[in-house]
Structure 1
Amino acid sequence: MAVQQQDGYDAVVVGGGAAGLSGAIALARSRRRVLVVDAGSPRNAPAAGVHNLIGREGTSPLALLEQGRADLVAYGGEVRRGRAVGARRTDDGFAVDLEDGSVVRGRRLLVTTGLEDELPDVPGVAERWGHQVLHCPFCHGWEVRDQRIGVLATGAMATHQAVLFSRLSDRVVLLAHDVPPPASDLPRLAAAGVAVVTGRVTALEGEPDRLAGVRLEDGTLLPLDAVVVAPRMVARSAVLDALGLEPVPHPTGTGQHYPADPTGRTGVAGVFLAGNVADLTAQVGTSAAAGTTAGAMVHAELIEEELAALLPAPVDQPVA
């Protein structure tokens, strides 16, 4: 069967979250022909609401993206549901291969495919992710204020998380689990009013919409209302891998990301990044801002390319 092709986009944006839609809107408002390819699986879909986003506090993540798509289309942008599985450079830009066998082409690429959260392998964690199982005090802390909160120690971030959540509740405990806190952390935890509970956590128990607590390996059920974890955050992109970019460890030690400069430019000319694919710790507002910046830089780069094609070639001056 012949491969279907769609040509003529100034930019193809791979990923339709806050970063991708913001970048695409910046391009569309500059009268660029832009396509967003969206797999339809936003990282924050399990969350009840978006926070720390002025004017949109508490908005459903899916509702926010729906409005973003409508905003883009109103400016002439296009959205296509699909998953990008590869990309390659062409004479005039890039060709992006989609899972359904079709190909879309753009003069520039903006990749905003986000990241994957690798959760601790404890029964009950994945099912409650984004509800009773949380990770960020700024994203979810207010919603569990004054509740019984357990911080599951799975890495070096546990003490940091426990101290931050201690500002929101005086009933925070650190669950030592597989990674007991080092002795040097104990004074800080004590000063913050955080008790350390020893013993491995074997499961989270309770109803689907209400956590009863965590079961310890000695059989004890420790009553809790919320559990905080530190997932390993990993950015993966078949598009970037195909173009020769590779993920590297993030400076925070929390996972892997693809490096880009503050404007979103990568080491591959014409390829830009924004959002969690480049910044693992970016919230929705941060991702949206990065997308807008990258979209503006893509437009500026295209302008210079177009002007160069219109201007006469420089004439070498004779040597005196």
Structure 2
Amino acid sequence: MALPVAELPPPRAGRVQADLLDVVIVGAGPAGLSAALTLGRSRRRVLLLDGGPPRNASVSAGHGLLTRDGMHPADLKAQALADLAPYDVTVCPDGAREVRREPDGAFAVRVGQDWHRTRVLLFATGVRDILPAVPGLRERWGQGVYHCPYCDGWEHEGRALAVYGCGQSAHHLALTVRAWSDRVTLICDGDPALTPEQTRDLRRVGVRIRTEPVRHLRGGPLEDQSVCVTFRGAPPLLVDAVFLAPEQQQGSHLPASLGCQLNDRGRVQVDDQQETSVPGVFAVGDMTGAPQYVVQAAAAGMHAAQVINTRLIHAAVQSLGAAFHKTPDDGAPEDGAEVTRPPEPDDE
């Protein structure tokens, strides 16, 4: 991979601020924040561009993260940002508007009207949920209607639950939700698209199937997060929660604008070191098709940060070696010296 010449980090006291950043991270979700923390602790000069609230901002609490179970996503993000304070990480509330490759191999990122140059670019821009066009569903998203039973199933265990959708994904989700309650209904909204085998599976474990078209979703009669699903020409269904697996799209067009390859599911394709098809550009988290859990996004961010730091170290060593062996006829070492791919850093 070609990297602009990097210098080994000087002592922190009296650090000279260069025009060229080590890393720009686009996106401040769990993956981006984790990468920023590891790179900051590696004494790298980092710009972290926040793209707004997390995708799960509408839920009352997040779950499944050690020592932070039940913490509100906004509080988790605030704590993660506070953890960056001791390090050379600049946090900008604005997102990136444009990115481009420079002739010397660096990247330029536009934030507002300003351009920032960086040796390495890390995307952590996530995905966007595309919710079904059911009246009332968007208003209940995160407050009675959920994406993940592993995140929100326990709070509704043993109660009346529904799964919205059709086909293979709904079949899988309904069987999964059944682990939290024996009162599960699959709502197919007029289009079951189930094979006989799938129907048999669901009925075998006691999942009820409703095929009538859905009219709308509204809050239940009590002051809680229960949901009343109304149908066209059929009695309503009152449940404690609804689960669905929405379609998703990339949270940012910027990776594609640089030429990063997408897979057949529309996710940014990365190798085992989180590098995209564009050398020097990395991607982490939900945008790569990884399982959508906070802890896994954070782990991917840390892994990418270790890889990036190792690459920068090797680039600096190689540039120092070229300068040491230079003869009067050699000329100056090129800014974009080719760097052999170093071994992946060992996990601790």
TM-score between the two structures when normalised by the length of structure 1: 0.90
Partner of 1:191: 204
SS at match of 2:322: coil
CA–CA distance in structure 1, aligned partners of residues 101 and 264 of structure 2: 26
Q: Name the aligned partner's letter for residue 215 of structure 2.
A: T
Return the alpha-carbon distance in structure 1 between the equivalents of residues 298 and 129 of structure 2.
20
The counterpart of 1:96, out of the listed 100, 109, 123, is 109
Counterpart Cα distance in 1 of 2:224 and 2:139: 10
Contact 1:264/1:294, CA 8 A, preserved across alignment: yes
Q: Deviation of residue 212 (structure 1)? A: 4.0
Structure 1 distance, partners of 2:238, 2:279, is: 54
Write the distance in 2 (CA, Å) between the matches of 1:104 and 1:197: 54
**For 2:228, which of 213, 223, 230 is the aligned residue?**
213
Structure 2: gaps spanning 5 or more residues = 1-17, 327-348
Which amino acid in 1 is paired with 2:145? V
Gaps of 5+ in 1: 1-5, 251-255, 316-320
Whichever residue aligns with residue 166 of structure 1, its letter is R
**Structure 1 residue runs of 4+, over 3 Å off?**
207-212, 312-315
Q: How many angstroms apart in 2 are the aligned matches of 1:183 and 1:92?
A: 56
Which residue is equivalent to 1:44? 56
Task: Return the alpha-carbon distance in structure 1 between the equivalents of residues 90 and 75 of structure 2.
Answer: 18
What CA deviation, in whole Å up to 9, does each residue of 1:211-264 have, x standing for no partner?
Answer: 3410111152111121111100212423212211243333xxxxx211111221
Contact 2:35–2:305 (8 Å) recurs in 1? yes
* Distance of aligned partners of 1:262 and 1:47 in 2 relative to their CA distance in 1, 3 Å threshold: farther
Where in structure 2 are the equivalents of 1:260-279 lying within 5 Å?
260-279=270-289
Q: Structure 1 residues 46 and 63 mapped into 2: Cα distance closer, same or farther (>3 Å)?
A: same
- Residues 84 and 205 of structure 1: is their aligned pair in 2 closer, same or farther, counting only changes over 3 Å? same
Instruction: Classify the secondary structure of the residue corresponding to 1:288.
Output: helix
Q: Which residue of 2 aligns with 1:158?
A: 170
Give CA-to-partner distance per residue, 1:86-105, whole Å, 9 cap, x none: 2111215110112x222122
* 1:244 paired residue number: 259
Corresponding residue pairs, total: 304
1:203 aligns with 2:216: yes
Which has the higher mean CA deviation after the structures are superposed, 148-157 or 129-138?
148-157
Cα distance in 2, alignment partners of residues 274 and 299 from structure 1: 15
Q: Any idea what the Cα deviations from partners look like across 1:35-56, whole Å, max 9, x if unmatched?
A: 1001213111112222111111
- Write the mapping of 1:174-185 to structure 2, written as runs, cut at 5 A: 174-180=186-192, 181-185=194-198
1:228 aligns with 2:238: no
SS at match of 1:157: helix
> What amino acid is the match of 1:162?
A
Q: Which of residues 95, 119, 125 is equivalent to 1:83? A: 95
Q: Which residue pairs with 1:24 in the alignment?
A: 36
Instruction: Tell me the SS of whatever aligns to 1:20.
Output: helix
Greater strand share, structure number: 1
**Any conservation in 2 of the 1:233–1:280 contact (CA below 8 Å)?**
no
Q: CA RMSD in A?
A: 1.8
The TM-score, its normalising length taken from structure 2, stands at 0.83
Cα distance in 1 for partners of 2:216, 2:181 equals: 23
1:297 equivalenced with 2:301 (yes/no)? no
Matched with 2:155 is 143
Structure 1 residues 219 and 101: alpha-carbon distance in aligned structure 2, compared to 1, 3 A threshold: farther
Q: Which moved more, 1:43-52 or 1:301-310?
A: 43-52
Amino acid at match of 2:59: A
Structure 1 residues 291 and 199: CA distance shift in structure 2, 3 A: same
The structure that has the greater radius of gyration is: 2
Letter in 2 for 1:296: Q
- 8 Å Cα contact 2:24-2:47 kept in structure 1: yes
Shift in Å, 1:201: 1.0
Is the CA contact 1:120–1:229 (under 8 Å) kept in the aligned structure 2?
no
CA distance in 1, matches of 2:149, 2:225: 19
Give the superposition deviation at 1:281: 2.9
* Contact 1:154–1:178 (CA under 8 A) maintained in structure 2: no
Q: Alpha-carbon deviation of 1:155?
A: 4.2
Structure 2 letter corresponding to 1:58: G
Residue identity matched to 1:13: I
Q: CA deviation at 1:195?
A: 1.0
Q: Secondary structure at the match of 1:108?
A: strand
CA distance in 2: counterparts of 1:12 and 1:276, whole angstroms: 18
Partners of 2:295 and 2:55 lie apart in 1 by 14
Q: Comparing 260-269 with 69-78, which one deviates more in the overlay?
A: 69-78
